[in-house]
Structure 1
Amino acid sequence: MAITVIETWYLNDESAGQATTVMQRMDDALGDNAHAHPGWNGHAIFLQDDADPHLVTWQYSWRSKEDHQDLLTSEESLAEPLYRKYCTRPRHIRYATELEVEVEHDH
């Protein structure tokens, strides 16, 4: 079963003010490596926090937690320069499993 990966990126002041441009640069730097991985399961969405624009969340589906952790072994060396240039600290990664809740109220 696919899982959802939730990454929180902690942008510095300059990057928070141009988050769309910075996220595009980050996606360009990390995307090819991720798309080539067999665990890739769809594109990410990028969400900037309204209350704290220094926080940007990436959310995307991945084939499994184990596959994503395998990706991270090759991705961290690509992410390090991004942390130094755009962030105040490394990203935080969480995993979530979708619950099959019936949302149609005619059940």
Structure 2
Amino acid sequence: MKNILNLFKNNKGFTLIEMLLVLLIISVLLILIIPNIAKQSDHIQKTGCSAQLKLVDSQVEAYTLKFNRKPTTIDDLVQEGYIKEHQKKCKSGETITLRGGEAVVS
């Protein structure tokens, strides 16, 4: 029984200063990291939109090969099953349209 009481009396732990120092370091790291994450998110959305434009352009070419004419609107591609309805917009909210037989963001 005495061994158990000695075990609780002999606790070794972190001091308040050590814990505050660790919290300070974590806070500084978060302050430095969060703005960089926001910048990367914008870059990823722009890159994703350009990739989606290339996808729609390739589907325009497939449509052209099948029907011997370019689609007049992006809805032609949706109706024929070349792209899905949700692919008419980028994740950033920009709408993809066809202008002169090529996909553009408007």
Structures share fold, TM-score greater than 0.5: no
User: Structure 1 length as normaliser, TM-score?
Assistant: 0.30
Q: With structure 2 as the length reference, what TM-score do the two structures score?
A: 0.30
Larger radius of gyration: 2
Bigger RCO of structures 1 and 2 (CA < 8 A, at least 6 apart)? 1
Higher strand share: 1
